[in-house]
A and B are shown apart, each in its own frame.
Chain A
Amino acid sequence: MKSTLTVILALCSAWCWAAGNPTDPQIAAIVVTANQVDIDAGKLAETKAHSPQVKNFAQLMVKDHTGVNQAATALVTKLHVTPETNPTSDSLKQGGEQNLAALHELSGAAFDKAYVDHEVAYHQAVIDAVDHTLIPSAQNAELKALLVKVRPAFVAHLEHAKTLQASLAGREH
């Protein structure tokens, strides 16, 4: 529980952009890192998840976020934008590593719950960041369009994760 709270706090602080709006190279680094963090968690859950439904969700996260990262990488290559690490992308990476470390210590139903709880909080934080920071800050029209285009997938993931969360909670009673 403490580890989940730590990760959520790290995510919240990650999206609080105190030093002004991120530039396009910084947005590119944030997008790629945010997707990679979820791919890494999904790969762990593919092997450790107890419930078949959680395992399926993890496989979907790996598949979808890999697709988004391929599209993002292709776009920044085309635009000659070099992703620039920044406090937000660094914090995301660190939060992802903390999440993986916490998940490694768990197994069975406790793993499933921790993974899914984190996915709910993570996708909500990502959607908030896309809406309030990344889309408004993006200068290049194609980069902005990519962010707009990817949003429905993140919303679908959040709803899927919430459904799983409710299902897992029901099994506890």
Chain B
Amino acid sequence: MVKVSGLGFEPSTLTVHEGERITWENTDLIVHTVTSGGFDSGDLAAGRSWTFIPKQRGTFNYACRYHPNMKGTLVIK
């Protein structure tokens, strides 16, 4: 689980195994996204969650499309 809170991702770096389910929960009051070249949550309204199951190994940097200073890294092993 990655918490989207205070205009940040917590933890900012998450390491999981291929095929493992990851959920981002937006506990902020405003809309965010979880966006990288390989995946995109679309608009994640306040209080909403988005789940993603990676099928490709690698390191993926992602950010919020609306707040580019919000950055996270997903490591898939």
B66 contacts partner chain A, Cβ-Cβ < 8 Å: yes
Q: What are the residues of chain A within 8 A of B30 when measuring CB–CB? A: 63-64, 67-68, 153
Question: Does A68 contact B29, Cβ atoms closer than 8 Å?
Answer: yes
Question: Does B6 contact A67, Cβ atoms closer than 8 Å?
Answer: no
Instruction: Count chain B residues whose beta carbon lies closer than 8 angstroms to a beta carbon of A.
Output: 12
Segment 15-68 of B: residues with Cβ below 8 Å from A: 28-31, 45-46, 66-67
A149 contacts partner chain B, Cβ-Cβ < 8 Å: yes
A60 contacts partner chain B, Cβ-Cβ < 8 Å: yes
Question: Does A146 contact B31, Cβ atoms closer than 8 Å?
Answer: no
| Number of inter-chain CB pairs below 8 Å | 36
Question: Does B31 contact A152, Cβ atoms closer than 8 Å?
Answer: no
A60 and B29 in contact (CB under 8 A), knowing A153-B7, A156-B7? no
Find A152's partner among B6, B45, B46, B66 (CB 8 Å cutoff).
B6
Segment 123-173 of A: residues with Cβ below 8 Å from B: 146, 149-150, 152-153, 155-156, 159
How far is the CB of B68 from the nearest CB of chain A, in Å?
9
Question: Does B67 contact A150, Cβ atoms closer than 8 Å?
Answer: no
Q: What are the residues of chain B within 8 A of A150 when measuring CB–CB? A: 29
* Interface residues of B, Cβ cutoff 8 Å to A: 6-8, 28-31, 45-46, 66-67, 69
* Interface residues of A, Cβ cutoff 8 Å to B: 60, 63-64, 67-68, 70-71, 146, 149-150, 152-153, 155-156, 159
The 5 closest A-B pairs by CB, nearest first: A67-B30, A71-B29, A152-B7, A152-B6, A64-B30
